[in-house]
Structure 1
Amino acid sequence: MAFVARKLRIVAKTAVIGGLVALAGCQSGGALDLGLGGWGSQKQQPAAPPSGTITADELRAYCPRVTLRSGTAFYSSYERGGEGDRNKIVYQASLTDVTRSCDYSGGMLNMAVAAAGRVVPGPVARDGTITMPIRIAVVRGEEVLYSKLHQYQTSIAALSPATQFVFKDPGVSIPAPTARNIEIFVGFDETPQTRR
């Protein structure tokens, strides 16, 4: 009889302890995992990656190199009739850094190409807005896939030592390349610009 009573007390204590553990799990608001192969535990689905994250395929995707085309990183604008005369320079501009970002969608390679530079006013500079001819070209060997001349405007002050600027063409788009043989060039257009 004493043996049976002792067994009943053990079962009762186990039931009380089990109830307290279950109650603690409910009050904590979290999943309770007792290591019972799923009994008493809640499986959570892995969180979906946040939107806007980059996939491994995108990390490995080809993004063509962008460079300054030789001989087009500097540009001088002269007063009309003063071409070549240092005393008739309205401004001199230079491109110093270039970069790009790439995105593949709909069978196209879409790129944003940017360039940073500076403008130094010349002897005949006036306060106001100037226009710089900046060309973006995408080529594959001798084949031109994209070429656009931008008339980029920025403000200068005649007595300012220099003005920095950042130019961006967000609309460069070509068919998705099948080989890594694409080059992007940025530079001032070679056509001289004059100002009255």
Structure 2
Amino acid sequence: MSLKKLKTIALACLVAMLMASCGGVTLQSDTIKLTKKQIEEARKQIEEAREKAEEARKKAEEAGEKVKEEPFEEKPLPRATPQVSEDILFTLIYYVGISRKDKRRAVILDLDDDGIEFIPTVRDFEYEILQNVSMEEAIYETEIFFGHEGLITNYYFKKVVGLDGSVIGYEIRPTYIRQFYGHSDPLDIKYSFNRRRVSVFIRLKSRP
């Protein structure tokens, strides 16, 4: 409903209140003198305004009920920390992107001493490496890394499994405010295995 219509309805309701307070008789003042015909016309307009106001109220209620039936819900993603021994160490690979606006941010934990090496497929300045870190240290470093990005709401772990089915590392993926990209989990991470080397490819999912 336009602002002009709302003003018209409000004015009509004000006239109705004045008429009610005067017992329905002709309104008179030094500047206002309404004839019987004008009063009947005013009453008709007031009744129409009331009907429009009631119709608008019902539509607003229906719209409100629809929103309640289909609320926006951000579903939480799993956050369980992998249970690994304190003696197990990792090489931590930060994917920092090409700028602060680049949302291809992720952390890869490459399990040490398994003979398999993760190879970033980006330019040297797009990633950083921290060696010989425990799982606890990796979580600490990850929270600092993701903490600089205001749109990140959480993060979660995902296993990286080798060709023989064994765990060779972990992804730590950030989750974002959905409105940022249309996905709360916008990263598409894939791996290419070549003997003992694993190439890592990080892209953004297509917008929904």
TM-score range, shorter chain: under 0.3
* Structure of greater relative contact order (alpha carbons < 8 Å, 6+ residues apart): 1
Where is the helix percentage greater, Structure 1 or Structure 2?
2
Tell me the TM-score normalized by structure 2. 0.25
Structure having the higher Rg: 1
